[in-house]
Amino acid sequence: MTTVIHNAAIVTVDDRDSVHYDAAIAIEADRIAAIGPNADILARYPAAERVSGAGKMVMPGFANIHTHLTMTLARGVFEDLSPPHKPPFSGGLSPIPLPDMTPDERRVMAQLGALEALRSGTTLALEDSNDVDDYAEALAETGMRFLLGERAYDRIGTSIGDPAPYRLDRALGQRHLRIIEDTFGKWNGKADGRLRIAVSAWAPDMCSPELLRDLRGLQQRLGTWATIHLNQIWGEVAAVKAHRNRLPTEYLADLGFLHDRLICAHCRCMEPSEEKLLGEAGVTVAFNAAIAARRGLSPHIADLEAHGCTIAMGSDNMAEDMVEVLRTGLFMERIRREDGRNPTPEQALRWATRNGYRALGVPDGGWLAPGNKADLIVVDLQRAHMIPVLRVVATFVHQAQARDVQAVMVDGKWLIRDGAVLTMDEPRILAEAQRVANAAWSRQFRARLDLKVPAGFAPDALP
Ligand SMILES: [Zn+2]
C-alpha cells in the first residue's frame, strides 16, 4: 500500500532545513519512499492512494521527551501551586497532593493525556511513572510510539525538594528495580516495536547512591535508555547539598550516572559547572518550556547546547500540547537571552521533533527523508491566523494551534484523518476522565480535611 500526499508544503527538518512548496511525499508501508515535485512523485507511484495536501503543510510529528500522562488529573490545580524558590522548602510539587488512583482510573487519565498529545501532533513520547503496566496496553492501542520510563526511588516519608533527613528504604528501591526488569520483559519491543521500556530514576534527592548505581547497571544490561528529573526546583538542590554535600549534577557525575542515553528533565536550578558536566557527558536535556514558564523558572538552553547537550522538548505534567511547548520555548529563550532573533523557529522546531526522536533512539524518525519512518502530521494552513503563508516554518512556530493538526500518521498508519481520531473513542474518554477526576478529588478532600480547596473548584469534584 502506497500513499502520496500531493500539492502540500513539506517541512523536512533535514540537515539544511529544506522546505518544499507545492510538493509531494510518498509513503510505502511504514517508511517514506520519496519527496519531490508533484508531477515526478505522482508519475512514479501511479497506483498510490492520492491525498490532496492543497492548503496544507506536512511536517514531522513531535517527540515529547518528558511527560506524566496520568497527571492530567491535576489539571487546573497544580499549575498555580508551584513549590517555593527560596527556603523554607517542604517537599512536593504542590501543597495539595495528587489523589491516589486505581489502575483503571490511571488508565483513563493516561488515555486522556495520549488523546491530547495525539491531537497536538505528538507521535513519540517518553512517559515517566510508576506502574506503567497499568496502561501500557491502552497506550499501544493509540498507535503512537512510546518510550515508557518505569520509575525507581528509595526515599520514603516525603517527596522531591525536601532537605529533611533522608529516610532510606532499600527494599523499596529493590522492588522498583524488579518491576523495571519485569515491565521491560513484558512490553519492550511490543506493538511492532512502538512500545519500549526505559529506566527512570525519580530525582537525585529521591535516590540513594546504591540505587543509582544499580539503576545504571540495569540500564546497561537491558541496553535501554534512562531518564531522571534533574535540578528541577531549588528545594532539590538544597536537599542534595544537605544529604550528599554536593550539587545534584555533581552527585550523578560522581556515580557515573551521566551518559549519552540519559534524558535529564528540566536542568533549571543549575550552576554553570553543572551545565558543563552535562555537556561533557553528552546527555539530552528535556526543555519543558510550558511548565517551566508556569513555575517561573528558566533553564539556560543556549549554555547547555553550547556545552554539548542535545536539546529536545517535553510538556511535563497537566498539559500535552506540544504546539504550545514549542512556541513557549522560543519565547522563553528569547526573553532569557534578550535576543529577539534567536533561537530561530527552525532551531526550536528541531528541538521539538528530530532531536527528541534521536534522543529516544529513533534517529530515522522526527524528520522527513526517503527511507525514514513515516511519522508525520498534516497541518491546515487555511486559517485566519496562518494566512498569508510566506515562511511556513515561522508561521507554524509563531501562529499555529493544536487544532490545526488535521491528520497524524505513525509507521505509515493514519491515527487522525480529516480531523477525526481513528484509534481512540474520544467522547467516551472525555466523559470517563471527568468522572474519574470528580471521584478522585472528592475522595482526596474527604480524607484530608486539612487541605485548602483552591479557589473556583468545581462542586462535582468536592465531597
Ligand atoms: Zn516531570
For residue 222, what are the CA distances in angstroms to 26, 120, 188, 361, 438?
36, 32, 10, 14, 40
- Give the chain's largest Cα–Cα span: 70
Task: Say how many Å lie between the CA of residue 433 and the centre of ligand 1.
Answer: 21
> What separation in Å is there between the alpha carbon of 286 and the centre of ligand 1?
10
pLDDT at 276: 98
How much distance in Å is there from the Cα of 44 to the middle of ligand 1?
A: 46
Q: What is the pLDDT of residue 1?
A: 86
Using CA atoms, how far apart are residues 455 and 222, in angstroms rounded to an integer? 47
Q: Where are the alpha helices (DSSP H) in 246-380?
A: 248-254, 272-281, 289-295, 301-306, 322-337, 345-350, 356-359
Residues 6+ apart with CB under 8 A from 123: 60, 61, 62, 63, 144, 145, 365, 375, 376, 377, 408, 409, 410
pLDDT for 9 equals 98
* Residue ranges, the chain, pLDDT below 70: none
Give the alpha-carbon dihedral of 133, 135, 141, 144, to 10 degrees: -90
HSE (side-chain half, CA atoms, 13 Å) at 152: 32
Q: Which of 182, 173, 230, 226 is nearest to 200 (CA)?
A: 226
CA distance 124 to 409: 11
| Residue 258 belongs to a domain | yes
Q: Determine the 3-state secondary structure of 438 from DSSP.
A: helix
- Same domain flag for 128 and 151: yes
| Among 316, 315, 222, 217, CA closest to 257 | 217
Q: How many Å lie between the centroid of ligand 1 and the Cα of residue 100?
A: 17
Residue from 376, 257, 359 nearest 312 by CA: 359
Q: Does 445 fall in a domain?
A: no
How far apart CA 257 and CA 249 sit, in angstroms, is 9
Residues 147, 85: one domain? yes
State in Å: Cα 203 to ligand 1 middle. 9
Residue 274 Cα distances to 206, 402, 419, angstroms: 19, 35, 44
Q: Terminal CA-to-CA distance of the chain, rounded, Å?
A: 54
DSSP 287: E
Strand residue runs (E) in 68-169: 122-129, 145-152
CB atoms within 10 A of CB 221: 11
**Ligand 1 mean position, distance from CA 71 (Å):** 10
- Residue 120: phi and psi, rounded to 5, are -95, 10
Same domain, 351 and 228: yes
Q: Give how far Cα 176 sits from Cα of 138, 154, 155, 226, Å.
A: 22, 9, 12, 14
> What's the CA-to-centroid distance between 127 and ligand 1, angstroms?
9
Note the pLDDT of residue 228: 98
Instruction: Give tens-digit pLDDT for 207-256.
Output: 999 999 999 999 999 999 999 999 999 999 999 999 999 999 999 999 99
Give residue 47 CA to ligand 1 midpoint distance, Å. Answer: 46
**In contact, 213 and 199? CB cutoff 8 Å:** no
Packing angle of the helix pair 103-119, 426-447 (nearest 10 deg): 130
Q: Are both 170 and 128 inside the same structural domain?
A: yes
Same-domain pairing of 221 and 74: yes
My answer on whether 209 and 349 are in the same domain is: yes
Q: Which single residue is written with the C-alpha cell 490545526?
A: 404
437 in a structural domain: no
| Residue in this structure with the C-alpha cell 557527558, named with its chain if needed | 281
Q: Are 174 and 53 contained in the same domain?
A: no
pLDDT, position 30: 98
pTM: 0.98
* Cα 73 to ligand 1 centre (Å): 14
User: How many angstroms is it from 255 CA to the middle of ligand 1?
Assistant: 22
Shared domain for 137 and 11, answered yes or no, is no
- Predicted confidence at residue 173, as pLDDT, reads 98
Going by C-alpha positions, the residue among 372, 410, 345, 406 that lies closest to residue 54 is: 406
462 is a domain residue: no
* Residue 409 belongs to domain with CATH number: 2.30.40.10
Residues 6+ apart with CB under 8 A from 299: 266, 267, 268, 270, 285, 287, 292
Is 373 inside any structural domain?
yes
Q: Tell me the C-alpha distance between 432 and 314, whole Å.
A: 26
Task: Write the CB contacts of 272 (distance below 8 Å, at least 6 apart in sequence).
Answer: 300, 303
The secondary structure element, H or E, covering residue 231 is none
Measured CA distances, 108 to 22, 141, 265, 331, 443 (Å) = 41, 13, 25, 33, 17
Residues with CB under 5 A from ligand 1 (ion): 316
Q: Which residue among 342, 359, 376 closes a domain?
A: 359
Assigned domain for 433 exists? no
CB-CB contact of 228 with 201 (8 Å): yes
pLDDT digits (tens, 9 = 90+) for 80-95: 999 999 999 989 989 9
Q: Which CATH number covers residue 131?
A: 3.20.20.140
Domain containing 213 equals 62-359
Ligand 1 centroid distance, CA of 211 (Å) = 19
Structural domain tally of the chain?
2
Question: Do 320 and 290 fall within a single domain?
Answer: yes
**Residue 306 Cα, ligand 1 centroid: separation in angstroms?**
24
Q: Would you say residue 255 lies in a domain?
A: yes
In a domain, 435, yes or no: no
Preceding peptide of 165 cis, ω within 30°: no
